[in-house]
A and B are shown apart, each in its own frame.
Chain A
């Protein structure tokens, strides 16, 4: 089960405030699909301006990134540079 942490505002607006979720899946797309079943509308929100960190590495394009069985997955604001 990957340990998934959502941003506070997203948790508040879509998951009754619950930030942490244990979800199984081989990549982020699968994980998001499973969360969407629990919290309809979450997938669209997650697609808006968020990056994903998997075991410490940050990905801006994260849809198909693979996840290990016990990975730590953090959704965070997307990073732009200057």
Chain B
């Protein structure tokens, strides 16, 4: 499909793009502004009944018995399931591939077996003819618990005699393997050179401990699905998720069904950010449907979303950086403990890999501990693992800059990773835009504005790998020359528009003549889920290849009509022309499509790929705050996000990702946290007290799009969705630290904490 050199040339001449780089209205837009679009909870099926989940009120307990008799007798109750109804899964059963997913753990998380591990852990599910009856029946289910002591923090979980959540959990990655069980699932280590020795060469060393709290992705749409199993064992699931193929695979495994018997239809999704890359309700709804013979609808309440779905890991980090007087970094260390929640699998390894990535370091040591606690099992949240690591590293860089008297951006520029720099995880970076984001940040008007009293400015950089993965696309040309582009990637940010733009560019036809769709699992070949900032990159690549396939098909048809060789046919702007002679009139896509039957049948193109060449992304953010010394309230005065996006296919949506990610990061830094009682019950189970940023909290978020094209994509695309959440924690913490003159190392920096810090220093 062309070589790298062709791609780079195409990209460098970007003015030659006709459609890419414009910001047209998204095809699903009108439906969304009129309320017509169907999200997870908007679907109904004939004969549908309603499911509700019974959840543990205890953070840690053994289940001694479950009695469903009274509930079953209630009029209107059609089915009840508990852990017993689900197939047993072997503890060693993992999906091998992109991420290690333990089906054993996943199955227990969906519904408890003999133990519950967090307040809100599902224990049973009821389906009845109305939500009211389902709730009343749920209250009649009698569950006997033996309450166990709970561990709620990584510190408590790692103590010598801490109550152990999982018998048999012996820390992986230790040598020798520990004899006793503990709550430490694994230890990971990354190393370049010899940091311990190299610190001896440092003129200045900064070292500090940092803490961050559990936060939730905060999507406004709660999880929802409708599942129907027919009498012949064929299942249909309508579900709001980041991957219909993921839902199919996980439900098949957890319910012991053949995946080919399950059709998953993706609804529009009301936010995911990584939190909808797993299943919670679908397996329950499926079994309830099977038992009752009716379609079952299940929708989570906001309380259930917060109590029982994956937040991202809170935890601790210790960062140590050593440098020469002139600011050259000589050595760095990072050691982190992350909350995995009830089951192993925090993204601490990814934190280790990304924390120091923006810097050229020959001697680095990163250690990461994955620790289970009695909180819901962690799930991915935009650049999983990276924000907390970056918080520690970027705060340390700031402290270093202060100590050395060097401008914080200058310090980063001096040590910036460039093409050929070895990343902490060992790989040498290809062409990247880290330095460019730093330089552009330094040149912004924002960075050069003066500050007033009680105001502070913070900067921070961040990195995310971005992934490729499997994507499939089908490009179908209608008889009138308009085109349908079908892919299997749920659209969480406007990617459908970008698919249409890329297809328009290849086909040379108007964006408005292309209809992009997100197809169900029976209508398009397998695609990995939407996440990892991969859709514009990988699914985009598939769309480009499929469109090129369709163009070749149409060139063949024209060649047939003209009775010439296909290499005589050129395609430009949606028209086939014969290069050699003037005898043959050019044919438009509509004319070729109208003759499709005469030239061999319907016209389409396809591509099923495993996209390689994903481009890493870097960002640098600048944040100005004003802190009220009386109340500890932090006002974000100004915020600028600078990011290397490769090539902005749809600039308005790229900006949207940068702004949205930045604001999530600001919320994480200033307000968001899980508040638990002594006994491990979640206290802030709604949006009133789980305080996400609101419109009046935020200023406009200025964006600077940097384009260092990724040679691995035909249009130079780098993933953009995740890196925006990586710098804000550090940028805001650095700003607040400068505003009050004291280093803030403990998130969130809520008013009481800031006041306490100011008071303690007095």
Contacts and interface: CB of A to CB of B under 8 A. Distances in A.
B471 to A, nearest CB: 13
Contacts of B198: none
B188 A61 contact: no
A63 to B, nearest CB: 10
Interface residues of B, number: 52
B712 A61 contact: no
B532 A53 contact: no
Contact of B531 (A47, A56, A76, A82): A82
A49 B99 contact: yes
Contacts of A76: 353, 425-427
A55 to B, nearest CB: 8
B467 A57 contact: no
Nearest to B349: A77
B533 A81 contact: yes
Given A9-B189, A76-B425, A81 B274 contact: yes
Given A47-B96, A74-B425, A80 B613 contact: no
Given A48-B94, A49-B100, A59-B612, A81 B534 contact: yes
If over half of B's interface residues share one DSSP class (helix, strand or loop), that class is named, otherwise mixed; here it is loop
B712 A79 contact: no
B532 A56 contact: no
B429 interface: yes
A49 B100 CA distance: 5
Contacts, number: 110
B295 interface: no
A80 B350 contact: yes
A79 B274 contact: no
A73 to B, nearest CB: 10
Nearest to A44: B96
Interface residues of A, number: 26
Interface string B512-542: 0000000000000000000111100000000
Nearest to B532: A81
B426 A5 contact: yes
Contacts of A77: 188, 349-350, 353, 425
B467 A81 contact: yes
Given A13-B175, A57-B612, A60-B468, A81 B384 contact: yes
Interface stretch (B375-383, B641-649, B682-690): B375-383
A48 B96 CA distance: 6
23 contacts: A5-B426, A9-B172, A9-B187, A9-B188, A12-B175, A48-B100, A53-B426, A57-B612, A60-B97, A74-B427, A77-B350, A79-B465, A80-B380, A81-B384, A81-B531, A81-B534, A81-B722, A82-B273, A82-B277, A82-B312, A82-B382, A82-B532, A82-B722
**5 nearest interchain CB pairs?**
A81-B532, A82-B274, A49-B100, A82-B380, A9-B173
